[in-house]
Structure 1
């Protein structure tokens, strides 16, 4: 199984889960319900950086399945000019995403204006993982109109490169971390300092 297929398989596995993170700030609890969808896979896999090559045209929700079936060629994707710099780090991060979320990580409120560099990433929180690979996971509120809704999506993830996205970010202390398996409605509570 190649890197592209491994990332698609990892994404197919993680969409069966959701994560609940809770942190405290100024005597208030803030829940983050992290959910995943098949539609997000092409963007997270960096397909937007493969505009210079011809890939088969499938709906976003079907791309992961088509990759696993071998209908989207990894050899073709590797020919993209930005493969090494922009696509490969994303595929690697996707393969390790569940492992990164299951293990210890740092949570930050995402404040791009605090960086000494410019980024176009739009997110609410940053998760920085230092397990088998060092990677960054950016998550964004799914419903910006309703601030009380706590559903978040992964909007970007990639291996750490030259830029350190932890620079000048405001750390948040996790008080609870839980992984819920949606089909069986069972959960693993990694820790709960609230109760």
Structure 2
């Protein structure tokens, strides 16, 4: 399978999923509801970095649809002089559901600790996949109480977790939105009940 299509397919599988995560710190609970929208794939894949191609500025939802239909593929972006900047995202993004299913490290993200970075986020998830940590930066949606993925990439030289406030994962469930089916993935809240 085309590796760009593999990433888009993996992300498409999450469009009908919500993760509900309950975190604890200093006797305070924080609840996150994470959802996924087709328009977010473009940024997570890093397609905006391909500045020498029209894909960088084209309609994000339309590009996502073209990738899923097979009319736009890795071959179309491989000609970019900047494709090397996103090569490290293909393997982890094709496993994005595994990243979310396995995650158990959550940090409140303080962007001032990484002033060299342009990333603006509320929370940072860190999950090891294939021997490397994958970072997922979450931001609260302005329109509702849900969070979405602002950025997604594997750890390279910078450890974005250093100095960040770590939260204890207390509960995590995966909800299939179309059916309401729930899968409890982690539960420290009810283990003694």
Q: State if a TM-score over 0.5 links the two structures.
A: yes
Partners in 1 of 2:39 and 2:147 — Cα distance? 14
Deviation at 1:101, TM superposition (A): 1.0
Q: Secondary structure at the match of 2:13?
A: helix
Corresponding pairs, count: 189
Partners in 1 of 2:145 and 2:28 — Cα distance? 14
Query: Partner residue of 1:67?
Result: 67
Query: Partner residue of 2:117?
Result: 119
1:159 to 127, 151, 154: 154
Query: Partner residue of 1:107?
Result: 106
Residues 9 and 64, structure 1, Cα contact 8 Å, conserved in 2? no
- Which stretches of structure 1, 4 residues or more, deviate above 6 A after TM superposition? none
Residues 32 and 152, structure 1, Cα contact 8 Å, conserved in 2? yes
Q: Secondary structure at the match of 1:180?
A: strand
Residues 103 and 125, structure 2, Cα contact 8 Å, conserved in 1? no
Unaligned residue ranges in structure 2 (runs of 5+): none
- Cα RMSD for the two superposed structures: 2.0
Partners in 1 of 2:118 and 2:57 — Cα distance? 26
Q: Secondary structure at the match of 2:19?
A: strand
Partners in 2 of 1:57 and 1:109 — Cα distance? 31
Deviation at 1:58, TM superposition (A): 5.6
Q: TM-score, normalised by structure 1?
A: 0.88
Partners in 1 of 2:63 and 2:18 — Cα distance? 21
Partners in 2 of 1:28 and 1:15 — Cα distance? 30
Q: TM-score, normalised by structure 2?
A: 0.89
Residues 31 and 150, structure 1, Cα contact 8 Å, conserved in 2? no
Gap change, CA 1:154 and 1:27, over 3 Å in 2: same
Partners in 2 of 1:178 and 1:94 — Cα distance? 21
Query: Partner residue of 1:174?
Result: 169
